[in-house]
Every structure is written in C-alpha cells, then in structure tokens.
Amino acid sequence: MEGNNNKSINMIQLAKELGLSISTVSKALGDSHEISASTKKRVFELAAKYNYKPNPFASNLRKKKGTQIAVIIPEIVNHFFALAVDGIGSVTMEKDYDTLIYLSNENPERERAILSHLENGMISGIIISVCSGRAGYTHFQEFYERTKLPIVFFDRVPDLLQFPKVITDNYQSSFDGTMRLLKSGSKNPLFVSPEEPLYTSLERRRGFQDAIRKFNLKFREDMLLELGEDAGVNYMVIKKILSSKKPPDAIFASTERNVITSYQVCKDLKIKIPQKIKILAFSNLRTATLLNPSLSTISQPAFEMGKEAASLLLKMIERKSYAAANDVIVLANEMTIRDSI
Amino acid sequence: MEGNNNKSINMIQLAKELGLSISTVSKALGDSHEISASTKKRVFELAAKYNYKPNPFASNLRKKKGTQIAVIIPEIVNHFFALAVDGIGSVTMEKDYDTLIYLSNENPERERAILSHLENGMISGIIISVCSGRAGYTHFQEFYERTKLPIVFFDRVPDLLQFPKVITDNYQSSFDGTMRLLKSGSKNPLFVSPEEPLYTSLERRRGFQDAIRKFNLKFREDMLLELGEDAGVNYMVIKKILSSKKPPDAIFASTERNVITSYQVCKDLKIKIPQKIKILAFSNLRTATLLNPSLSTISQPAFEMGKEAASLLLKMIERKSYAAANDVIVLANEMTIRDSI
DNA sequence: GTGAAAGCGCTAACAG
DNA sequence: CTGTTAGCGCTTTCAC
C-alpha cells in the first residue's frame, strides 16, 4: 500500500506541456539536426526542470540495444582483478556504459550459468577472464553463435583464435624470471601453478622450461607443481615438499595465491628467504614491498589491461572497427627484484 | 553490413508454432496457475528447444521494474570493498538479480553524477558506501525523494536516520584497540584518519579519545592526524612526524591505506616496530600476517557486511518487509594482535 | 483454461 | 522543421 505515485514524468507529458508532438520532443532530446535550436532549447529546459530522464527500458526495447556490458571474472578479492575492474570502469564510465559484474568463483558451472543468463539480450558485450580450462571452451563459441555479441577475453584466455584478447607476455616474462633465478644461483627451482590447463599458465610454464634448458640445466618433471583450489591442502603440499630431503632452492609462483601460501610455509618452517630459498612470483600484491622479506614480483599491468579490454569492446560494440575482432593486444609485464632473491 | 539476422526468437513465434495465443504462452512461462499442466509442458519444451529467453527490456517496460541493483563504492582496489562486493554478489546471484558496479573514486562529484544517472529508473535499489562527507548528504535525500528507491548504506554511512545501514561497532573496537595499545605501554599514541568527516571515522576517533581519557592520559589535539588523498604527501607528513623530537610511540590507523604508508615510513627510517613504535590498524589486508613485522589489525567482516546489505536491500525491494527500512545492522569487528604491538 | 486487445514509453520511418 | 503513425516484445485485464 505504499504510495508509489509521483513516478517520473514521461515524454508524453513533456510534449503536452510544450504544445509539441512527442516525436519532436524525442528528436530534440536526441539533439537531432532536424529540430530548430529554439525548440531544442525549450525542450531541454523543461526536461531539466522536471529532471526528466528517458525510460531506458522503453528506449532499449525500441532501439533493440542498450548500454550495458558484463564483466565476468573468477574473483574480485584479488588485487589483479580488482585493478582490472577499475580499469574497465574508467572507460565504461567515461563512455556512459553501465558495468554489470559477475563472479564465477572459479566454478565452470557458474560461468556457464552466467553466460546462459546473459543470452537474454540485456547486454551489449562481454569482458571475461575465464575460470578454468577443464570444462572446455565450447560454451563461449556457442554463446557467440547464438548472440553474435562482442566478447573480449583478458588475462586468462581460452585458446580460441576467433576472439580478441588482451594478454601479457607471459612466456617471455616467465623465461626472464626463471633466468634471473638461475643466474642468482638456483640449481633446483620449483614452478608452482594452478592445475587448470589455462593458456596463461601453460605459457608461463613453457617459459620456465625453456629457460631451464637454455641454462643447460636438466629439466625434471618434479620441477613443476600443480596446486588446486584448497588453500589448506596447498599449504600441506608445499610444506611437505619444502621439508623433503632435497627441497627446491627457489620457488617461482605463477599466482599470487600460491606465493602467499609459500611465504606462510617458509615462515612456519623458519626457512630463510632468500638464503635457503629464493622466491619470485607473478603477483600484483600492493604489499609486496612490505613482506618479510620484500617479495620479488612480476606484475601485470592490470589496470591497463582492463582499459584496453574495455576500449576494444566498446569499439566493437559501436562497430567503429569490427575488424579489430581478432586483435590480440599484448602488454608487457614488469619484473621487480626485491629481497626475496 | 554485418548479418545480424538470426536474432533471438520471441514469444509471438513460440505462440504461433504451438498454436496457442501469445498471452497463454506468457502465462505458461510465468508458471501461472490458470494454465493447464500439459500446456505448460509443451510451452516449456519448445522454449527450451529454441533456448528462448524473454526480452528483459520489454518485460521490464511492461512491468515497470527490473532486477538490477547498483553498488556504489569509493574504490574496488581495496580488500575491504572487494570482499563486500563478493558478499553482495553471493546474494544477488542467488536471487537472480544483476549487479551494476559504480566506482566513485573518492570523488563526491562522481558520486552525484552516478546517482543522477541512476534516476532513469533502470535499477531497483542501491547499496552504497559513501565517498566523502565534505559535500554533504543532501543528494541522497533528494535521490530518495524523487525515486523512492530503496537504499542501503554500508560501512561509510551518512548520518541520515531515515536510511537503513550496515555498519560495525567502530566506536567500541576503536576504544578496545586504543586500550590495548595503552596497556602495552604506549604513552603517546597517534590516531591517523582520513580528513573526510565520515561518520565511521568520527566514531573511531571518539573511541580513541575516550580510551585515552579512560586511561587517565591527557588528550592532546596533536594525537590526531588527518590525512588527505595524496599518498606522496601523506608519506611526507608521516615521515616528518616520526622524525620529530617527540615522535609518537604508537600509530593507530583508521584505514588500510594509511597503515601501508606508515609501515613504509618506518621501514625507510629504520624505526623498529614494535620496539620504537607500535602499530595497529583497521584493515582487511590479506597479507597482514606476512608483513614485517606482522601487522596487528582490527578487521571488519566485509563479506558479511555485503551479504547483510544485499539481503536487506532485496527484502526492501520485494516489500517483504519494507518496515526494515530503518534498520541499523551492527556487526562485530575482530581484533588480531600480531607482532606489531 | 485460453484468447483478444490494450498499452508500458520510446524511436524512426514517412508525410507534410 | 514538425507531426502522424506504427510498432519494439511483453504482461495483464477482461472476455469467453
């Protein structure tokens, strides 16, 4: 029984009060060239007076398109993704697009459900960082076939050639990082990555392996460690490895999450960094410099990646250059050596 | 010239193929009781076959309401807000609401612009953590008067009685934290907070002052330090204070940002924590335990706050209990003493 | 239990 | 330069 009366004014009322036709008002509001300056002025003024805002449902329905994009990411509680969302927001906001956010929580089923939900036509495009490779990538193809909506992948990208991507030079920076570890004396490094068969991780691993070989070290399978989702389990696994007879003398972590766990284990086992073990990680931790000891990182230009992805997507949406659809934008990572090496 | 033909099927086509009227199909899809089970089944099956999804623009226009809510926060690159968004997402997702995200970037003008944009009627409710108190809070009142849309404030809330809020026991935990510092020997603590006259900060400051007095220490105005936005400037200010003749022997930081700067200064000036200075902060830093030394924190239940805020908002939207509109939900903070004290 | 019809508020031909 | 008109795809009385 709430009085939700005084609901906003509409075009009809504006037109009536102005003694104009509704279509004239519509055109005036759209700043159409076929309306006289004086009429426009009158319309704008009355609209402002009533704080009139066109009903987006009606206008979107009529135009068969809106101004919302969806961002799908595995998690937001992660400095990298938070920065990326910030970057995305910086361009969508400027271009008057609204940003819907969906968290897949590293769950492929969620990701599919989100995609399916988005097939209703509410949005004009998608920016996504995928959550896993295990379930395959067919849902992206299918989504695209059905909706023909522009999609831009970033960071964690599937290996689908037909889609535009924004990534970093994962192979090269991993190679460089590994070389750096080896040059500082590591003979037995351990590369820690998530078990998902993600393009990003695979590229980093490839860089690691190639550096090992390039350095004329013998590559062994047990130089690679794959970790799952469960932080508790991961902790135990790392602890076991670091307590073994021939523990690694360096850890190169492919993700922020893994390096935090590694630090924790070293702290608990009182293993000195970098004396006993050197640590390097792909990470955007803001507090890298304050850790004990300060952490050497390869950080991704997350904000920039978000910006690039959003710019590309909006360009595609506005068809200014749909040809850009197969672009792969590669940005450079930045390695910062601190006390952990 | 892109062929954007095969655009999604609509109800009319479904109805035609089923030999039913469009209104019957609509009701069937809405699981209306006035439609026979057998008809519903046929409708659902065909809809599923064509992967039919009702056009939300049309349906929202007709129903004069949608299923989107807006979240307005000062920043997303902050563990607290990221967690809160995660919490919000956990409930909106479950209830099939879509979440629009807007970053005010600590800019009151942006905040107003966002609010103004949202007056177009696109959303059904707002969850917000305000960005500043300097510009006053009249825009919230006005927004509400004009739209009558439900609004829930969380954490950084204005002092407007008529709105529901989700906050933490800022006064009490600040009081307790200060007592803790004093009991461990601090005689000259410094309370660092942002210069914004935010309710949250003011409560914390009040807790600090009361604890000082309760401990029979003389309160001096210079025990309070207000910092602005510019990290570089803040660094210099703190550095100057810590280099002074009679530097504080404890820092109690009201925000995560300020404590990071403080740590940095101590590190650069080689001031030993906690021997020379004790540090405590309101913070949700994930890496608190890994800092050098590990940081003592009062952390807010950010995820829970997001959840509570979203649940409350959806309840208000669905009018299940519009009476809850003046609720103030107060959650408890958690103090964790680590090596910095 | 099903259908006909009237719009929700707006845009875009098409006329004038 | 302005107005008339026909919907966009859906929901909801109101008939039957």
User: Phi first, then psi: what are they for B215, rounded to 5°?
Assistant: -90, 5
Could you tell me if A33 lies within 8 Å of chain B, comparing CB atoms?
no
Q: Residue B6 has what pLDDT?
A: 46
Provide the pLDDT confidence category of residue B1 given band limits of 50, 70 and 90.
Answer: very low
- Given a cut of 90, whether residue B160 has pLDDT beyond it is no
Report chain B's mean pLDDT, rounded to a whole number: 91
Provide the pLDDT confidence category of residue A5 given band limits of 50, 70 and 90.
Answer: very low
Provide the pLDDT confidence category of residue A324 given band limits of 50, 70 and 90.
Answer: low
Q: Residue B287 has what pLDDT?
A: 86
Q: Tell me the range of A151-160, A233-242, B151-160 where mean pLDDT is highest.
A: A233-242
Provide the pLDDT confidence category of residue B4 given band limits of 50, 70 and 90.
Answer: very low
Is the minimum distance from the CB of A58 to strand D below 7 Å? yes
Task: Report the candidate in B68, B59, B54, B58 with the shortest Cα–Cα distance to residue B121.
Answer: B68
Is the minimum distance from the CB of B330 to strand D below 7 Å? no
* A136 Cβ contact partners less than 8 Å away, ≥ 6 residues apart: none
Provide the pLDDT confidence category of residue A150 given band limits of 50, 70 and 90.
Answer: very high
- A-to-B residue pairs, Cβ atoms closer than 8 angstroms: 149
Q: Residue B5 has what pLDDT?
A: 38
DSSP A164: -
Task: Report the candidate in A96, A91, A136, A142 with the shortest Cα–Cα distance to residue A310.
Answer: A91
Q: Please give the model's pTM, rounded to 2 decimal places.
A: 0.92
Each residue of B279-323: pLDDT tens digit?
Answer: 999 999 888 988 889 999 999 999 999 999 999 999 999 875 555
Q: Look-up: residue for tokens 């970093």?
A: A168
Q: Can you tell me the distance from the alpha carbon of B148 to that of B325, in angstroms, rounded to the nearest whole number?
A: 12
Tokens of B183: 């009991």
Amino acid at B291: L
Tokens of B226: 């207000």
Chain B, window 242-281: residues with a beta carbon less than 8 angstroms from a chain A beta carbon: 260, 263-264, 267
Residue A62: count of CB within 10 angstroms of its CB: 12
State mean pLDDT over B184-207.
91
Q: Residue B321 has what pLDDT?
A: 57
**Nearest chain A Cα distance for residue B142, angstroms:** 12
- Given a cut of 50, whether residue A251 has pLDDT beyond it is yes
Could you tell me if B323 lies within 8 Å of chain A, comparing CB atoms?
no
Q: Residue B322 has what pLDDT?
A: 58
Please report the domains of chain A, with CATH numbers, ordered by start residue.
11-54 (no CATH), 60-167+302-330 (3.40.50.2300), 170-299 (3.40.50.2300)
Each residue of B63-85: pLDDT tens digit?
Answer: 999 999 999 999 999 899 999 99
Q: Residue B320 has what pLDDT?
A: 59
